[in-house]
Amino acid sequence: MRLEDVWLRYHRRGPWVLRGIDVQIGPGEAAVVLGRNGVGKSTLLQVAAGVLRPGRGRVTGRPTRVGWVPERFPADQPFTVARYLTGMARVAGLRGAAADEAVTSWTDRLGLSAFRSVRLPELSKGTAQKVGLAQAMLRPPGLLVLDEPWEGLDAATRELVPELIAEVLAADGAVLVSDHRGETIRLPAARRWLVADGSLTEETSSADETFAVVEVAVPAARVAGTVARLRAEGHHVLRVRADASTAAAQARPAAPSIRLATGEPTPAQSGADQGVDPMIEPAAGEAR
């Protein structure tokens, strides 16, 4: 599939959000779309999925079956989980027993069986997100588009996301994922597309590239925002710790220090391997 000189703006005289994007992705490939808040990651994914039409340029070679998981599942629909998913299975071209089988299999796999008779508006955000994931997977997609898939999911389902992606890739599907949480670390083989100023650049890394670890001290109140920004720019934040030495030197309360690696970390650098959870939730009210 190829995006050819794609431009998009939301209003006739509004600013262009995407400006001449040219990129392609093939069967069995995954790309993670990175970038700061509001740069146009969701817009790009929606163009790729066929949800938005570009104002200029075109998308060619889009696979017939596209699974699209929006950032927020639209739960304000008057259906039960089972009715909704059965309807979506029909939209995906499944009929009768095949539709029922797909719904049963995905509700089981995503832990939704107990919610089959619950209406969508009554679901918690995390459960609704799982329904969003299920509807995209009912029929193996040739293109799976996941907009911030780790957002709002419980830990068990977050673990499942790379597994689902791997299955789509193994069946020669392509996968696009936006990510501001730095979960890309879970998709080490994915390409990395950085969106900024309406343009897209692909990060390249070679096997013999070396990496540096940079330690940065920031005021405690700015930790979450800084971590989010660093991750959005494609850096790997390895850990956050209170920095006693900085505090002692400056005779004020401990300043948290952020340790980050530029580029793709080696396994030993990853926070997970050090028993450190590299995920930090933004503080309430703080920009992601």
- Contact between 70 and ligand ATP by CB under 6 A: the answer reads no
Cβ at position 29, least distance to ligand ATP in Å: 21
Q: Which of 30, 35, 183, 236 binds ligand ATP (CB under 6 A)?
A: 35
- Contact between 10 and ligand ATP by CB under 6 A: the answer reads yes
C-alpha to C-alpha distance for 174 and 276, rounded to whole angstroms = 31
For residue 23, count other CB atoms closer than 10 A to its CB. Answer: 19
Contact 166, 88 (CB under 8 A): no
141-180 residues in contact with ligand ATP (CB under 6 A) are 180
- Contact between 19 and ligand ATP by CB under 6 A: the answer reads no
Residue 163 makes CB contacts below 8 A (sequence gap 6+) with: none
Q: Which of 3, 43, 129, 260 binds ligand ATP (CB under 6 A)?
A: 43
- Contact between 184 and ligand ATP by CB under 6 A: the answer reads no
- Contact between 186 and ligand ATP by CB under 6 A: the answer reads no
Q: Closer to ligand ATP at the Cβ: 43 or 107? A: 43
Residues that bind ligand ATP (rule: CB under 6 A) add up to a total of 11
Cβ at position 204, least distance to ligand ATP in Å: 22
Q: Which of 19, 23, 30, 40 binds ligand ATP (CB under 6 A)?
A: 40
- Contact between 274 and ligand ATP by CB under 6 A: the answer reads no
Q: Which of 64, 286, 277, 62 is nearest to 186 (CA)?
A: 277
Cβ at position 180, least distance to ligand ATP in Å: 5
201-260 residues in contact with ligand ATP (CB under 6 A) are none
Cβ at position 163, least distance to ligand ATP in Å: 24
Cβ at position 11, least distance to ligand ATP in Å: 7
Q: Bridge-partner residues for 145, per DSSP? A: 68, 176
**229: amino acid identity, one letter:** R
Scored b (16 or more CB within 10 A) or e, 87-98 reads ebbeebebeeee
Q: Which of 5, 26, 37, 77 binds ligand ATP (CB under 6 A)?
A: 37
Q: Closer to ligand ATP at the Cβ: 42 or 270? A: 42
The three-class DSSP label of residue 212 is coil
C-alpha to C-alpha distance for 105 and 134, rounded to whole angstroms = 9
Which DSSP string do the residues of 109-154 spell out, in sequence order?
Answer: HTT-GGGTTSBGGGS-HHHHHHHHHHHHHSS--SEEEEESTTTT--
- Contact between 287 and ligand ATP by CB under 6 A: the answer reads no
- Contact between 67 and ligand ATP by CB under 6 A: the answer reads no
Angle separating helix axes 155-170 and 125-137, nearest 10 degrees: 10
Q: Which residues bind ligand ATP (CB under 6 A)?
A: 10, 17, 35, 37-43, 180
